[in-house]
């Protein structure tokens, strides 16, 4: 007999829901699935990344966290692990082999003594009231799993990121058998990836990329560079096949790409014979038509190889006329501008650029609508909770569930931080726990909030101006020329007239007031703001410093 | 006998090439086609919009500009007209009826005495050595034309923005006859819209939207709101049809949308009977299932109706549960984040949202690859110059031309500012004129350059900190507590420890230096920068003000 309700809490960043971290609680025992970061939106000024707010877990001192379970090695699922181990050093981390390797790299520089325990998709893991049965899924990094969590209130399926690829490069399709067997046993709740819920049909197999890449290889006269996510190991595998086929040596450029290739080869997820690989430092001793180079920067990241090539800042190699660059990727929403700008610059510098609009050199790693329907038919859950996506995706995934016959009151669409309670009778949303998500900027975690971001927005749009004035305390006379410091407002050297007006405003304002220092300061700021707006129709931040002697 | 070379110069904003403005020069006479603005990229901090740099034309005092000819009424083709008339008050503007109306609205508030002369697509216009024959094209605003410019060096075709719509809502397809007749006469150079050069096939007809909108209307139980570009008059026409069909009254909300609907009805481009239109101020007296509201904000613009509805800031109406909102639009690159965020917020507030990923509620106004091929076959030009698009689109359009048999040396891909010279024998790129494009920010034109933008970028990412210190001139002793002003760096009230460290750094630095004021100031700034970076790993702008008394 179950004594408690099962509580499921999606935590995580802005934008996507139920993606970065999920807590399963039963009584005073809990397990956590994933611990990832989110990347900031363009208007989150200066924020490096965002981590889930697990302050709730820290404050629940009565709660024993038995394990952190990881579905796969992408940053949005493992990126905040170093923050987690600081808060919960004694909670062991469970991951499949490649994922564990990636986590270990991440924890290498920390003082962490946290154990990273490796499991395989065939294992069964027991944590107090939770029996966890992982199952293999296809995605855009090898060694991905979803989790079936057997609880006192029945079986809960958490798919993780997945697609149904029937011809995966590593030969391991998503585990239809196991999913069907869960369905046969009876599932209370399916929590499923909604990323592509607004895309009809099936996501094409990773194998469908090879012909398009082969075409690009066949047409290329000079060097070939392929940019993709470093973690997209199957893509590197395809490129390695084609390099061998087209008698080219394979080189790897870019820190992350090198790390991933090394780790994936070591762990046996990437089959590249030693003699196919070339040393990037000896690249120039090969003829152009004899080389393929895997590079980073497919999202237009300014510090990655591709952007540096586009702007002539790459140390190891420069762009050559006749280079073919293949972007085997698709811009993540928000990155479109920088990706297309990078492409334009590469073309301007003489490269031939192939990207996914021109040929199928990329496919998504997430299920489309037909796969979502298939997942629901395999699992046949009592309740359905779309996760992994923006609200619009979750709602659309929920509609698909209803079209497949799920009653609308059994579809659970919840925001991050909302508690889903499962008892004998029902699955429902209850309270919302306090907290949200945490900005990381530089070395500081969580000290940047909305107020600072709002100030950055104003400074980023109009800059600031500070006037510093020294007055004679007795007479109120201005001592020496006021000092003006301004950045991001106008180009001072070209703005003599405006600066004269501003200086005159300062003198006028100070003459007009016979108040105390603070009042003088306030009135000075106000008249400066007024003058500046009327002269320029801009609103920089304005400050005055008034010293009286 | 031609005495001069014909010179064609694309001018214009960043990103797209040959779109916003094109100059045709022959000897000392010139005509200009279009005068539009570009919208800033996300990293052009605080810039309102960008105008073409026509300083070249201003400085060519020997050049007589005979006319500014406008292809159609979109902002990227007419948005900088008010700047043009200030520089060239005596140059008449030529536009079709609706476009002329839109330009007049734009010039209403200016002191301009510039004449706006209306022509029809059947007219022939003579300007010195140029005989201009406009031709009707379909696009996403009515009354669009391209121009055939007959010059001493032959016929040049400038398509403007176009698509080949075989079932346009206003019944006027792109003028195949006239295009074919130009082809029969012989064309030196085709300058053609490249926007969708990476999209295969045909752009669907505007008419294909009606069934999708009809489905959404049929399913909607409550109010319907349709968001689209105010200038997309044909879309408003379709919505008006459907409003009548579904027994709903049509309302218009949003300043620009009201202006366009009014103007388009007055000029006869929009057929909406008076009794179909409702007064937006009386909206609430109608039952929800009896209304359709056209709204602005389909690009997520924060000040438009849709964003205000999403955040509960709309004055005329609030969102109601059961509202259906149709985004009959597609995000312009760079706007994806704000559009999808708006959609998520609308859903969160209870609306049912239909957007183009879910059903075909939008089509592009630009030609796709098959239409580009068709245009080339109709025109059969000697030379081909892709325009209107980013470099990647131009290059792709050039490849299509080559696939259709155009020799590669007859495909001209040029950046803005590059002069294309046409003589008896050839068409080729020659010099690049000085200049680029001009940022408009507030009321100022061109006073913001790369330096200010770069400062804004730093301020937007990390903010600033200013320390003001007063010293005794004789002893160097610090008089009173240093004043610190900082914004966008950390939240000061939560940063006592950091502020203590910063104050201590100031005192230490001043004690360590026995230099003159300027040197003290510099050393203080340097030690503050070091301390702040080592404490926070951030680099705010740091300034020190040192007063000595």
DSSP string covering B172-232: ----HHHHHHHHHH-EEEEEEE-TTTT--S-PPPGGGHHHHHHHHHHH--S-EEEE--TT-
Q: Which residues of A touch B487 (CB under 8 A)?
A: 455, 459, 464, 541
CA distance A391 to A367: 17
Q: Which residues of B touch A487 (CB under 8 A)?
A: 455, 459, 464, 541
- The architecture (CATH level 2) of A463-548 comes to Roll (3.10)
Nearest chain A residue to B415 by CA distance is A348
* Contact (CB, 8 A) for A222 and A289: yes
Give the distance from residue B535's alpha carbon to the nearest chain A alpha carbon, in angstroms: 8
CA distance A119 to A103: 14
Is the confidence at residue B366, as pLDDT, over 70? yes
SS3 A49: strand
Quick check: A490 and B536 CB within 8 A?
A: no
Cβ neighbour number for residue A271 with a 10 Å cutoff: 13
* Contact (CB, 8 A) for B291 and B224: yes
> Between 3.30.30.60, 3.40.50.10710, 2.40.37.20, 1.20.120.1770, what CATH number should domain B206-354 receive?
3.40.50.10710
Give the count of alpha carbons within 13 A of A274, CB side only. Answer: 1
- Taking only the tens place, the pLDDT of each residue in B5-47 is 999 999 987 778 999 999 999 999 999 999 999 988 888 899 9
pLDDT (0 to 100) of residue B435: 82
Compute the count of residue pairs across chains A and B with CB atoms less than 8 Å apart: 180
Quick check: B547 and A547 CB within 8 A?
A: yes
- Taking only the tens place, the pLDDT of each residue in A414-464 is 999 999 999 999 999 999 998 888 999 988 888 888 889 999 999 999 999
Give the count of alpha carbons within 13 A of B144, CB side only. Answer: 29
Catalytic, B366? Answer yes
Nearest chain B residue to A45 by CA distance is B461
Q: Does domain A6-201+364-445 have CATH number 3.60.15.10?
A: yes
* Contact (CB, 8 A) for B164 and B367: yes
CA distance A539 to A530: 9
Q: At what angle do helices B450-462 and A450-462 cross, to 10 degrees?
A: 170
A348–B contact, CB cutoff 8 A: yes
Quick check: A452 and B463 CB within 8 A?
A: yes
Q: Which two tokens stand for residue A225?
A: 């560079």
Q: In which residue are the tokens 């109120």 written?
A: A476
Rounding to the nearest 10 degrees, give the CA dihedral for residues B84, B86, B90, B92: 40
Quick check: B538 and A447 CB within 8 A?
A: no
User: What residues contact residue B64 under an 8 Å CB cut-off, 6+ apart?
Assistant: B28, B29, B30, B128
Task: Name the A residues in 386-415 with CB < 8 Å from any B CB.
Answer: 390-392, 395-396
CA distance A140 to A196: 14
Quick check: A456 and B451 CB within 8 A?
A: no
B219–A contact, CB cutoff 8 A: no
Is the confidence at residue B235, as pLDDT, over 80? yes
User: What residues contact residue A484 under an 8 Å CB cut-off, 6+ apart?
Assistant: A465, A466, A467, A468, A499, A502, A503
Give the least confident one: B121-135, B177-191, B370-384, B482-496: B482-496
Quick check: B491 and A341 CB within 8 A?
A: no
User: What residues contact residue A523 under an 8 Å CB cut-off, 6+ apart?
Assistant: A509, A512, A513, A515
Q: Which residues of A touch B549 (CB under 8 A)?
A: 549
| Mean pLDDT, rounded, for B70-78 | 95
B353–A contact, CB cutoff 8 A: yes
What is the greatest pairwise CA distance in chain B?
91
Confidence (pTM): 0.92
| Mean pLDDT, rounded, for B424-447 | 90
CA distance A428 to B8: 67
* Contact (CB, 8 A) for B88 and B81: no
Candidates B349, B386, B397, B460: best to mutate against A (most CBs of A within 10 A) is: B460
Terminal CA-to-CA distance of chain A, rounded, Å?
Answer: 80
Q: In which residue are the tokens 């149904």 written?
A: A164
What is the ipTM metric for this complex? 0.90
Q: Which residues of B touch A336 (CB under 8 A)?
A: 333-334, 336
Nearest chain A residue to B458 by CA distance is A460
Sheet hosting strand B541-548, strand order edge to edge: B478-487, B464-471, B541-548
CA distance A190 to A385: 6
Q: Which two tokens stand for residue A98?
A: 């490649």
CA distance B173 to B198: 23
Q: Give the β-pairing of A130-137 and A125-127.
A: antiparallel
B441–A contact, CB cutoff 8 A: yes
Q: Give the β-pairing of B64-69 and B93-95.
A: parallel
Q: What average pLDDT is seen over chain B? A: 94
Catalytic residue among B72, B83, B330, B366: B366
Which of B46, B336, B468 lies at the smallest CB-CB distance from A336? B336
- Residue B523: band (very low, low, confident or very high) from pLDDT cuts 50, 70, 90: very high
What is the greatest pairwise CA distance in chain A?
91
CA distance A185 to A41: 42
Q: At what angle do helices A391-403 and B336-348 cross, to 10 degrees?
A: 60
A446–B contact, CB cutoff 8 A: no
Rounding to the nearest 10 degrees, give the CA dihedral for residues B60, B64, B66, B68: 10
Which of A334, A392, A545 lies at the smallest CB-CB distance from B483? A545
DSSP state of A38: B
Nearest chain B residue to A458 by CA distance is B460
SS3 B136: strand
Give CA B281 to chain center in angstroms: 31
Quick check: A348 and B455 CB within 8 A?
A: no
B495–A contact, CB cutoff 8 A: yes
Q: Which two tokens stand for residue B75?
A: 């902002």
Give the distance from residue A406's alpha carbon to the nearest chain B alpha carbon, in angstroms: 19
Catalytic, A193? Answer yes
Give the distance from residue A428's alpha carbon to the nearest chain B alpha carbon, in angstroms: 18
Is the confidence at residue B222, as pLDDT, over 80? yes
Q: Which residues of B touch A488 (CB under 8 A)?
A: 45-46, 452, 455-456, 458-459
- pLDDT in 10s for each residue of chain A, 549 residues: 689 999 999 998 777 899 999 999 999 999 999 999 998 888 889 999 999 999 999 999 999 999 999 999 999 999 999 999 999 999 999 999 999 999 998 898 777 889 999 999 999 999 999 999 999 999 999 999 999 999 999 999 999 999 999 999 999 999 999 999 999 999 999 999 999 999 999 999 999 999 999 999 999 999 999 999 999 999 999 999 999 999 999 999 999 999 999 999 999 999 999 999 999 999 999 999 999 999 999 999 988 999 999 999 888 889 999 999 999 999 988 899 999 999 999 999 999 999 999 999 999 999 999 999 999 999 999 999 999 999 999 999 999 999 999 999 999 999 999 999 999 999 999 999 988 889 999 888 888 888 899 999 999 999 999 999 998 888 878 888 899 999 999 887 778 899 999 999 998 888 876 667 788 899 999 999 999 999 999 999 999 999 887
Q: Give the β-pairing of A464-471 and A541-548.
A: parallel
CA-to-CA dists, residue B234 to A301, B111, B205, B295, B328, angstroms: 40, 33, 11, 15, 12
Q: Which residues of A touch B444 (CB under 8 A)?
A: 490, 536-538
Nearest chain A residue to B345 by CA distance is A391
Which of A43, A455, A495 lies at the smallest CB-CB distance from B463? A455
pLDDT (0 to 100) of residue B137: 98
- Residue B494: band (very low, low, confident or very high) from pLDDT cuts 50, 70, 90: confident
Domain ranges of chain A: 6-201+364-445, 206-354, 463-548
Quick check: A336 and B340 CB within 8 A?
A: no
- Residue B1: band (very low, low, confident or very high) from pLDDT cuts 50, 70, 90: low
Nearest chain B residue to A46 by CA distance is B461
CA distance A452 to B540: 12
Which of A43, A343, A535 lies at the smallest CB-CB distance from B392? A343
DSSP state of A410: G
B490–A contact, CB cutoff 8 A: yes
Nearest chain B residue to A534 by CA distance is B443
| Mean pLDDT, rounded, for B99-104 | 94
Select from B381, B393, B367 the least CA-distant residue to B164.
B367
């Amino acid at each position: 007999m179950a004594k408690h309700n099962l509580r499921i809490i999606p935590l995580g960043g802005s934008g996507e829901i139920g993606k970065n971290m999920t807590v399963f609680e039963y009584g005073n025992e809990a397990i956590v699935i994933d611990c990832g970061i989110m990347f900031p939106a363009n208007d989150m000024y200066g924020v490096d990344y965002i981590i889930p707010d697990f302050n709730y877990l820290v404050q629940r001192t009565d709660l024993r966290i038995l394990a952190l379970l990881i579905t796969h090695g992408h940053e949005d699922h493992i990126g905040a692990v170093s923050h987690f181990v600081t808060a919960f050093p004694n909670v062991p981390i469970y991951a499949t082999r490649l994922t564990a390797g990636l986590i270990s790299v991440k924890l290498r520089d920390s003082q962490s003594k946290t154990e990273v325990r490796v499991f395989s998709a065939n294992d069964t893991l027991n944590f107090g009231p939770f029996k966890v049965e992982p199952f293999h899924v296809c995605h855009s990094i090898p060694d991905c799993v979803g989790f079936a969590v057997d609880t006192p209130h029945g079986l809960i399926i958490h798919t993780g990121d997945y697609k149904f690829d029937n011809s995966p490069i590593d030969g391991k399709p998503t585990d239809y058998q196991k999913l069907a067997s869960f369905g046969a046993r009876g599932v209370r709740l399916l929590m499923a990836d909604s990323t592509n819920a607004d895309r009809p049909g099936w996501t094409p197999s990773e194998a469908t990329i090879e012909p398009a890449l082969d075409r690009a290889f066949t047409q290329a006269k000079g060097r070939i560079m392929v940019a993709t996510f470093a973690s997209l190991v199957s893509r590197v595998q395809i490129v390695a096949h084609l390099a061998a086929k087209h008698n080219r040596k394979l080189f790897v450029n870019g820190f992350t790409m090198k790390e991933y290739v090394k780790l994936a080869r070591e762990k046996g997820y990437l089959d590249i014979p030693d003699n196919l690989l070339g040393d990037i430092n000896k690249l120039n001793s090969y003829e152009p038509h004899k080389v393929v180079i895997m590079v980073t920067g497919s999202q237009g990241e300014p510090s990655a190889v591709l952007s540096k090539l586009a702007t002539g800042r790459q140390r190891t190699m420069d762009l050559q006329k006749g280079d073919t660059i293949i972007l085997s990727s698709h811009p993540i929403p928000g990155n479109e501008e920088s990706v297309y700008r990078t492409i334009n610059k590469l073309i301007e510098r003489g490269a031939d650029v192939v990207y996914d609009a021109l040929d199928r050199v990329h496919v998504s790693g997430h299920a489309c609508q037909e796969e979502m329907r298939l997942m629901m038919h395999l699992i046949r859950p009592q309740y359905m909770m779309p996760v992994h996506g923006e609200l619009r995706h979750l709602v659309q995934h929920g509609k698909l569930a209803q079209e497949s016959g799920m009653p609308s009151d059994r579809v659970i669409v919840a925001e991050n931080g909302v508690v889903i309670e499962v008892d004998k009778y029902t699955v429902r949303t209850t309270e919302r726990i306090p907290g949200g998500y945490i900005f990381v900027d530089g070395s500081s975690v969580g000290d940047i909030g909305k107020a600072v971001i709002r100030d950055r927005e104003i400074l980023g749009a109009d800059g600031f101006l500070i006037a510093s004035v020294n007055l004679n305390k007795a007479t109120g006379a201005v001592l020496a020329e006021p000092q003006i410091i301004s950045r991001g407002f106008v180009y001072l050297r070209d703005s003599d007239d405006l600066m004269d007006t501003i200086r005159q405003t300062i003198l006028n304002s100070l003459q007009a007031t016979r108040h105390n220092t603070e009042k003088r300061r306030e009135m000075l700021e106000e008249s400066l703001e007024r003058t500046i707006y009327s002269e320029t129709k801009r609103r920089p931040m304005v400050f005055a410093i008034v010293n009286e002697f």
